[in-house]
Amino acid sequence: MLNKWSLLCYRADMAAEKTAPRLEDQWRDILSVHARTMCEIDRELHPHGLCASDFEVLDILASNTSNTSNTSNTPDAPDTSAAGPVWAGPCRVQNIADRVHLSQSALSRLIGRLEREGLVERSVCLEDRRGVWVALTRKGHDLHTRVRPLQRAVLARMLPGAR
């Protein structure tokens, strides 16, 4: 049989559990906001031929530069290509993978598609042949510049308290 103190503690615990959001509910709320936000970003960027994941890669690459042509003396930095001069500083694919929520194979396919569209350029790391560099081309930079305000507006609308 429960003593009076145990019964009071039990009732207090039950009341707290009913009034405080459960951890699982908070997690589901986070997932819901993420899913709705990604859908909104997809909807805004679709007319420009991009999805939210495409934009994330372009945005990471754009933030990796001072937006000048690559004049690096780094021996393994990408050179110019048929798509035009590399516009943004290179970033290793592994560093991108650490920042996006895609599997390595999905990220590789996404980068391949962006490369075929002339938005990024890939090159092999001369110091470590297993490594691959990716950089924005001028076309990729220009597209990123055009759609960035659309993505940021979605974030402001969907995440009003996050500034």
* Full set of structural domains in the chain with CATH: 23-158 (1.10.10.10)
Can you tell me the distance from the alpha carbon of 125 to that of 127, in angstroms, rounded to the nearest whole number?
6
CA dist 37 → 64, 121, 123, 144, 157 (Å): 24, 28, 33, 19, 9
- Three-state SS string over 20-68 comes to CCCHHHHHHHHHHHHHHHHHHHHHHHHHHCCCHHHHHHHHHHHCCCCCC
Half-sphere exposure of 83 (CA within 13 A, CB side): 21
Instruction: Give pLDDT, residue 91.
Output: 87
pLDDT tens digits, one per residue of 11-62 = 666 665 665 678 999 999 999 999 999 999 999 999 999 999 999 999 999 9
Give the SS3 label for residue 128: coil
| pLDDT in the model for residue 65 | 54
Distance from first CA to last CA of the chain, Å, rounded? 53
pLDDT at 1: 53
- Give pLDDT, residue 130: 73
Examine the pLDDT at 2 and tell me if it is beyond 70: no
Predicted TM-score (pTM) of this structure: 0.72
pLDDT score, position 135: 94
pLDDT of residue 125: 77
Q: Which pLDDT score, from 0 to 100, does residue 58 have?
A: 97
Residue-wise pLDDT tens digits, 84-141: 545 556 888 988 999 998 998 999 999 999 999 999 999 887 777 678 899 999 999 9
The CA distance from 72 to 126, in Å, is 14
